[in-house]
Amino acid sequence: MTNRIVGQAKQYATYGQNEVGFGDKPAILVVDLQRAFTDPAFEMGGAPMIERAVLNTGRLLDVARKATIPVAKCVMGYGSKREQPRWKVGACRDLILGRPECEIDPRVHDPAYDVTIVKNGPSIFFQTPVMTFLTGERVDTIIVTGCVTSGCVRASVVDSFQFGFRTIIPEDCVGDHDEQPHQDNLRDVQRRYADLSNADQVIDYIEGWRKKKAR
């Protein structure tokens, strides 16, 4: 019994063993930082962690745009309730295009620079043109920001991994409604699919990338 437990411990210790690292060309994906989730006027808006994610993502995007790093944002929205999947989240029934819930938070929005995508499932990759955009930009590294960590952020991280991208999550640029699912899901994806970082570290990387590119 003791030997088997030791063997299992060795096997489990391989979780998170390899670092993903940054590649040669990054892009930033901003998942669902729309007013339904960021504006306290709405049922699911204004959670403290999501507010923190908005502020830090805004800082990150300011630096990224100056460095000409590609930025793609998504909102979740539908033409009508008949188009919606069977969400268990009641507030998702209000995500009808044209309503204020589907407006991107202005603190992270630059319509003249960013590519904006409408999605109808959890992942920014699912049945959207984001892969066409990323391929055209010759991206190999995805920096995922947005909300919520346990839902659409996690789904987007898994798909980024499955499409072969180096995937980085600045943990203070993503948020959830509760601390526990936020931490649990970050721990889980860090063990399997992505590197965890923070806004300041990613900004330092982008500044270094910009200087290297300018040589």
The catalytic site residues sit at 152
- Rounded Cα–Cα distance for residues 76 and 143 (Å): 19
Give the closest residue to 70 by CA, choosing from 79, 83, 61, 57: 61
Q: Cβ(49)–Cβ(166) under 8 Å?
A: no
Q: Cβ(30)–Cβ(61) under 8 Å?
A: yes
Q: How far is CA 199 from CA 78, 88, 196, in A?
A: 31, 32, 10
Q: Provide the 3-class DSSP secondary structure of residue 115.
A: strand
- Please report which helix (H) or strand (E) contains residue 204, including its range: helix 199-214
Beta bridge partners of 174: 146
